[in-house]
Amino acid sequence: MTMTNWQDEAEKIRPQLLSDLKTLLAIDSSRDVAHQTDEFPLGPGPAKALQAMLAIAKRDGFDTLNVDNVAGRIAYGTGDEIFGLFGHMDVVPAGPGWDTDPFTPVEKNGRLYARGSSDDKGPSIAAYYALKMVRDMGLPVNKRIHFIIGTDEESAWVGINRYLEKEPTPDFGFSPDAEFPIINGEKGIATFAITFKPQPAAPSALTLTKFTAGLRVNMVPQSATATLSGKVPADLASLISKKDQQPGITVSSEPTADGIAITLIGKGAHAQEPKDGINAATHLAALLADLDLDPAGHAYVQAIAAHMHEDSRGHLLGINHTDNLMGELTASPDLFAYSPNGEQSVMLNVRYPQGVTPDQIIAAITKTLGAANVSVEVSGHAQAPHYVPSDDPLVKTLLDVYEKHTGQPGHEQVIGGGTYGRIIKRGVAFGALMPDAENVMHQANEYMSIDSLIQAVAIYADAISRLAK
């Protein structure tokens, strides 16, 4: 079959694909353990999205499996080997800054706007329709194809890990959850909990009573709020005004019964590249760092301003590292919590290349900030760097498919993002974002080009047909 035939076949399913995708996008499937039950371990939203995706496949005649409402499988074909596709139905929280309702899909200027349109419901439905196309056209398949769907990719990977505990692991495969031409390498990922130790009390005219920011450990915080009690300094208004004039930043304040509350708005982004955002929390800490605060409050904002502000490569924390294959380490402080008699912490999301370990990162942060001032530990699970060599037949086949459909040269890539591709030894990420497309994953007003989704269907169908022979 020629490339043109693939594209023509993909165009035929455009209306149905969009209808099904909009059904999925209308579901707020962000992790919600505050409302978890035995039936819905990750909350009702992720389970509802999984059930909706499996219902689409069952409607179309595929064999489906629901694993404890945290993962699922759509199966086709027979053979000794298992070829895996890996998608996810969960999304990061919508967050502020949207021009439309994030869970009411809107078509505008050839784009489909909604949370999850790009990460990962749009690419997942494209891969699903590609699989359906291969089946409906009766193309030869000599392997078992397992389209595995997780519901916790944006957090702790509960779903995919539960699936692999109960079901067979694919021999090779790809995840439609990144960008073209291919992602065959992913940096290690770990979140470090930096907890501040109590400071000696001392009289102060101004006390930091609260500092909060962030939605998830893999999202650059778009907004941050601090409250201060006591005598508000006369020059604070001018400091706020000066910060408010910086590009991309909005600062507002309002008096409280015993002081002032300050809110700073920046720009959210995916933590894999902190430079794509404007970290509201570190900017707010920089604003407060020169005030005469109480000892604990001063220690907290000073550490953030001096060692985490506008330094996405970790130089100020002493954790910078570069590898010739995987590039630079990135560091993104994403969750902030402070109260005088409660938690005082920063969650630092780090994407690290080969040649450095989480233990080395902990040691470096501790040395920089001082063991007397902080304790540092990995929060959750650390994922080691992952790489599939460029001469692997999987990589070579996928790059050839990409080149034939786009006319553009293919090349290997290593990213700081984490995809399900890394869950197996011969796993990669493949699309659906084109190289010249704007990456708005984890940002307000997330969207996906509809034409690019249809092109992805054609590319994925060709790839599935070749790899499943």
- For the chain, list the domains and their CATH numbers: 3-187+385-467 (3.40.630.10), 189-383 (3.30.70.360)
Alpha carbon 236 to chain centroid, angstroms:
36
* Residues facing 448 on adjacent strands: 112
Residues 151-171: tens digit of each pLDDT:
999 988 999 999 999 999 999
Residue-wise over 409-430: b if at least 16 C-beta within 10 A, else e? ebebbbbbbbbbbbbbebbbbb
Average confidence (pLDDT) over 76-94: 97
- Strand, helix or coil at 185? strand
CA dihedral of 266, 271, 272, 276, whole degrees rounded to 10:
0
- For residues 392 and 388, give the distance between their C-alpha atoms in angstroms, rounded to a whole number: 7
Mean pLDDT for the chain overall: 96
Can you tell me the mean pLDDT for 65-94?
Answer: 97
The structure's pTM equals 0.87
Residue from 3, 397, 328, 462 nearest 184 by CA: 397
Is the CA virtual torsion 205, 209, 215, 216 positive or negative? positive
Give yes or no for residue 2 having a pLDDT over 70: no
Burial (CB count <10 Å: 0-12, 13-18, 19+), residue 313? middle
Three-state DSSP at 460 gives helix
The percent of the chain in helix, strand and coil, each rounded to the nearest 5, is 30, 30, 40
Residue 4 confidence (pLDDT): 62
Instruction: Dump pLDDT digits (tens) for 5-43.
Output: 999 999 999 999 999 999 999 999 999 999 999 999 999
Treating both helix axes as pointing N-terminal to C-terminal, what angle do 14-25 and 3-12 enclose, rounded to 10 degrees? 60
Q: Are 112 and 144 in contact (CB under 8 A)?
A: no
Q: Which residues pair with 193 in a beta bridge?
A: 347, 377
The 8-class DSSP code of residue 91 comes to B
pLDDT (0 to 100) of residue 433 = 96
The pLDDT tens digits of the residues spanning 57-79 come to 999 999 999 999 999 999 999 99
Q: Please report which residue ranges of 192-341 form alpha helices under DSSP H.
A: 236-244, 280-288, 295-307
Name the pLDDT band for 131 (thresholds 50, 70, 90). Answer: very high
* Among candidate residues 53, 116, 123, 114, the one with its CA nearest the CA of residue 90: 116
Q: Which residues pair with 64 in a beta bridge?
A: 74
Cross-strand bridge partners of residue 229: 207, 259
Q: What per-residue confidence (pLDDT) applies to 417?
A: 83
Sign of CA pseudo-dihedral 173, 179, 182, 184: negative
Which stretches of 289-388 are DSSP H helices? 295-307, 358-369
Q: Mind telling me the catalytic residues?
A: 90, 153
| CA distances (Å), origin 322, targets 165, 218, 251, 307 | 35, 21, 35, 19
Q: How many CB atoms lie within 10 A of CB 119?
A: 29
Angle at 319 between CA 315 and CA 325, to 5 degrees: 95
Question: Tens digit of pLDDT for each residue in 323-379?
Answer: 999 999 999 999 999 999 999 999 999 999 999 999 999 999 999 999 999 999 999
pLDDT at 296 over 80: yes
From first CA to last CA, the distance across the chain in angstroms is: 14
Residue 453: pLDDT band with limits 50, 70, 90: very high
